[in-house]
Amino acid sequence: MSDPALNRTTGTVPATATVRRPDIEGLRAVAALLIAVYHIWFGTVSGGVDVFLVLTGFLITGSLVRALERDGRIAFGAFWAKLVRRLFPAGAIVLGAVLVGAHLFLPRSRWTEVIADVRAAALYHGNWHLALGSVDYMAENGAASPVQHFWSLGVQGQFYLLWPLLLTAAGLAAAVLGARVRAASTAALSAVFAGSFGYSLWITANDPVWAYFDTGARLWELALGGLLALALPGVRLPARVRGAAGWTGLTALVLCGVVVGDRLPYPGLAALWPTLAAVLVIAAGAGTDAGRLSANRLLEWAPLARLGGHAFPLFLWHWPILVFYLEVTGSERPTLGGGLIVLGLSFAAALATSRVVDGGLTRLIRTRTAPSWSLAAGVLFVVPVLVGGLAWSQAIQRDRELRLELASDPTAYPGAGVHLSPVLAEELPDLPVYPDTTTVARETIDQTRACNALIDDTELVRCDAGDAEGGYTIALVGSSHARHWFQALETLADRHGWRLVVMTKNACQFSAADQTYRGEAFEECDAWNDQVMAELRHLRPDAVFTTGTRTRKGADRPEHVPDGYVERWRELDGWGIDVVAVRDTPRFGFDVPECVDRHGADSSECAERQSYSMARTSPANALTDVPDNTVFVDMTEYLCSDGRCPGVIGNQLAYYDTNHMSYAFSRSMATVLEPDLLDALPEAPEADASLVESAAVLYGET
């Protein structure tokens, strides 16, 4: 991602005379190639983006400080307008193509996500959008966004807003204190570097996924480039030292993806490898010629320098083309030939984009010197992307509303209730699946988002549903596989006048045993379990509804009753609380909504073998030390039949990802769950009529 705001010959934004550095264009080319190669064939960090951040800090800082020294001020309007003119058009062209490509190549289930990603990228806060999404449990099952790489443009865009203000403040401080602008700027950048680097070390150690997208954890890389720009004019290194530095830096940069890869938390300390490598290369190119055999002479090679002029669009194009290629071919990683196709298409698209932007837009407004022209030219490219995304979102919403209207007929969309009527099963109409695959994940998560603790949370989150004045209380407790029974229990609670208390946490089992998450101690879960037990001791519900077994993907990881389950049920028995332990639900080796989009609701491709994640019979049946308060409930016959578990049941999309029930299907499960639950809880009050007799209430939207 070269900085397109920079003049291609001088490397500055204002028209300021400076030393020409063709080796920097070559360094851009190397960085862009490394990003593309490591992404395409290895799927690892290359360090190329870090090089771009250092280069951006180096060139922009040098340009702005020279403007302060020369004019005593920074022309904010001209600076930002030129950036908009250079950044927005190329980015908007790619984003517009992504919207078209998503419609052509990606399943419906991903459309809403892509539209939101494109909107965030176009407005240059894509890094925060991705950071917030990364802490959502849904993200664990999400495929890579075709604009995921735009996070770095968000960081740069925020840098471009901050840096002129920071250096202007430094210039004012220099005037008040009688100091040199360069010295005051160095002090300001040193403070930013120290604060950001320290924060980066801390946040990377505590939340590496968030840290990767966090502007605060990346500012030190830009500040490092800025400090180099301020210090380099006063440094005179011998030719041999510069020659060694250039080769050392270039070699280290090329090997960054091999040495660092995905093995170390990033950015943190690991990001010092590519950033210091870039510093060595930039420093080596300062001053007189280091020799014919220097690394910087290689970077000045005309073809490489010309490629550097197209590095920005090459960076923008390579990732969405790779994502679409993998989607079309159904592969996880391109072959050598496939990768060359991706790289070739990326080069062609980059050249075409440069021709449109530099040969068309730049030539069109070359005679227009007012900043407003540059601003308007850049913004006019972005507006169609935003409008197109909005129009597409509205079309998706209209389709959702149509399906919602159709789903109001319980005989058309019975969900799990289809098992109760052979006639209904035979006469089920051929209708679009409900809920819509484009919105089902978000809508399901949103219904319990405020009532659920995320993986990193240590505090208990509790919500009440059903009849707040009800004399009978059921607590829904456990992981997300307990949580996805919420709509079924809420329907029953409303029907029978029960009070429902919800206490769930992602990936955290309701267990007395210490737990792990991804191979490490899950201390947040242990703390949450302690709080749940304290709350249950105080609340004393009549019953607790939780999972009684645990399924996992792959026949080599059999369904089982985890350690600590029985002990926990025994503790509740001592408090006089009944336990309903429901058998866990199946898991799929594919994303169910995506499969339905590709193959259709009735396709056998969208059914998973029961043996993939479940035992032939419930492992709970083999337990011999179960306390008297515990009753097992098994709903597998309504989820799987003849050893196959379909993704669509009764015209309803049963799962919103690879293993969690959709909100609509969970609600439909209330009908088949009701008899077993009432048998398990004989003291629970019952309504005059069962849900089977009130199907319209059950299957309609509430």
Domain ranges of the chain: 22-390, 415-699
Q: Calculate mean pLDDT across residues 398-415.
A: 89
Query: What pLDDT was estimated at residue 702?
Result: 39
Amino acid identity, residue 482? A
**pLDDT tier, 7 (very low <50, low <70, confident <90, very high otherwise):** very low
Characterize 186-203 residue by residue with b for buried, 16 or more Cβ atoms within 10 angstroms of its Cβ, and e for exposed: bebbeebbeebbebbbeb
Q: Is the pLDDT of residue 294 over 90?
A: no
Rg (CA), the chain: 30
Amino acid identity, residue 342? V
How many whole angstroms separate alpha carbon 425 and alpha carbon 520?
A: 46
Q: Which of 67-81, 369-383, 494-508 has the highest mean pLDDT?
A: 494-508
The fraction of the chain above a pLDDT of 90, given in percent, is 71
Query: How high is the mean pLDDT of the chain?
Result: 89
The answer to which of 147-161, 436-450, 680-694 has the lowest mean pLDDT is 680-694
How many whole angstroms separate alpha carbon 386 and alpha carbon 382?
A: 6
State how far the alpha carbon of 689 is from the alpha carbons of 418, 472, 526, 561, 569, in Å: 19, 18, 41, 35, 32
Q: Is the pLDDT of residue 8 over 70?
A: no
**pLDDT tier, 263 (very low <50, low <70, confident <90, very high otherwise):** confident
Query: What pLDDT was estimated at residue 357?
Result: 83
Q: Is the pLDDT of residue 20 over 80?
A: no
Q: Calculate mean pLDDT across residues 206-214.
A: 91
How many whole angstroms separate alpha carbon 285 and alpha carbon 463?
A: 62
Instruction: Give the helix ranges, DSSP H, for 449-518.
Output: 480-483, 486-496
Q: Is the pLDDT of residue 369 over 90?
A: no
Instruction: Give the residues across from 646 on adjacent strands.
Output: 607
Cβ–Cβ < 8 Å for 556, 521:
no
Directed axis angle between helix 76-105 and helix 336-354, to 10°?
A: 140
Q: Calculate mean pLDDT across residues 104-124.
A: 94
Burial of 362 (0-12, 13-18, 19+ CB in 10 A): middle
Instruction: Report helix, strand or coil for 452.
Output: strand
Q: Is the pLDDT of residue 243 over 60?
A: yes
Q: Calculate mean pLDDT across residues 571-577.
A: 97
Cβ–Cβ < 8 Å for 228, 58:
yes
Over residues 475-486, the pLDDT tens digits come to: 999 999 999 999
Q: Is the pLDDT of residue 699 over 50?
A: no
How many whole angstroms separate alpha carbon 505 and alpha carbon 16?
A: 57
Q: Is the pLDDT of residue 316 over 60?
A: yes
Cβ–Cβ < 8 Å for 58, 225:
yes
More confident residue, 80 or 217: 217
Start-to-end Cα distance in the chain: 49
**pLDDT tier, 287 (very low <50, low <70, confident <90, very high otherwise):** low
Query: What pLDDT was estimated at residue 235?
Result: 81
Cβ–Cβ < 8 Å for 217, 199:
yes
Residues with Cβ within 8 Å of 621's Cβ and at least 6 positions away in sequence, in order, are: 632
Question: Are β-strands 499-505 and 452-453 bridged in parallel, bridged antiparallel, or unpaired?
Answer: parallel
How many whole angstroms separate alpha carbon 320 and alpha carbon 405?
A: 36
The answer to which of 427-431, 674-678, 680-684 has the lowest mean pLDDT is 427-431
Instruction: Report helix, strand or coil for 359.
Output: helix
Question: Are β-strands 607-609 and 543-547 bridged in parallel, bridged antiparallel, or unpaired?
Answer: unpaired
**pLDDT tier, 373 (very low <50, low <70, confident <90, very high otherwise):** low
Amino acid identity, residue 604? S
Q: Calculate mean pLDDT across residues 347-352.
A: 96
Burial of 271 (0-12, 13-18, 19+ CB in 10 A): buried
Tokens 């005179």 belong to residue: 236
Report the candidate in 90, 75, 74, 80 with the shortest Cα–Cα distance to residue 4.
Answer: 90
Cβ–Cβ < 8 Å for 67, 16:
yes
Tokens 């011998």 belong to residue: 238
**pLDDT tier, 597 (very low <50, low <70, confident <90, very high otherwise):** very high
More confident residue, 373 or 297: 297
Over residues 440-465, the pLDDT tens digits come to: 999 999 999 889 999 888 899 999 99
Query: What pLDDT was estimated at residue 366?
Result: 55
More confident residue, 288 or 347: 347
| Global pTM value | 0.84
How many whole angstroms separate alpha carbon 339 and alpha carbon 24?
A: 27
Question: Are β-strands 578-582 and 630-633 bridged in parallel, bridged antiparallel, or unpaired?
Answer: parallel
Directed axis angle between helix 336-354 and helix 311-329, to 10°?
A: 140
Residues with Cβ within 8 Å of 514's Cβ and at least 6 positions away in sequence, in order, are: 521, 522, 526
Query: What pLDDT was estimated at residue 587?
Result: 97
**pLDDT tier, 431 (very low <50, low <70, confident <90, very high otherwise):** very high
The upper half-sphere exposure of residue 307, i.e. CA atoms within 13 Å in the direction of its Cβ, equals 20
Directed axis angle between helix 486-496 and helix 663-680, to 10°?
A: 60
Q: For residue 81, how far is the Cα from the chain centroid? A: 31
Query: What pLDDT was estimated at residue 421?
Result: 77
Instruction: Report helix, strand or coil for 198.
Output: helix
Over residues 131-148, the pLDDT tens digits come to: 988 644 333 445 789 999
Cβ–Cβ < 8 Å for 297, 247:
no
Over residues 321-344, the pLDDT tens digits come to: 999 999 999 888 999 999 999 999
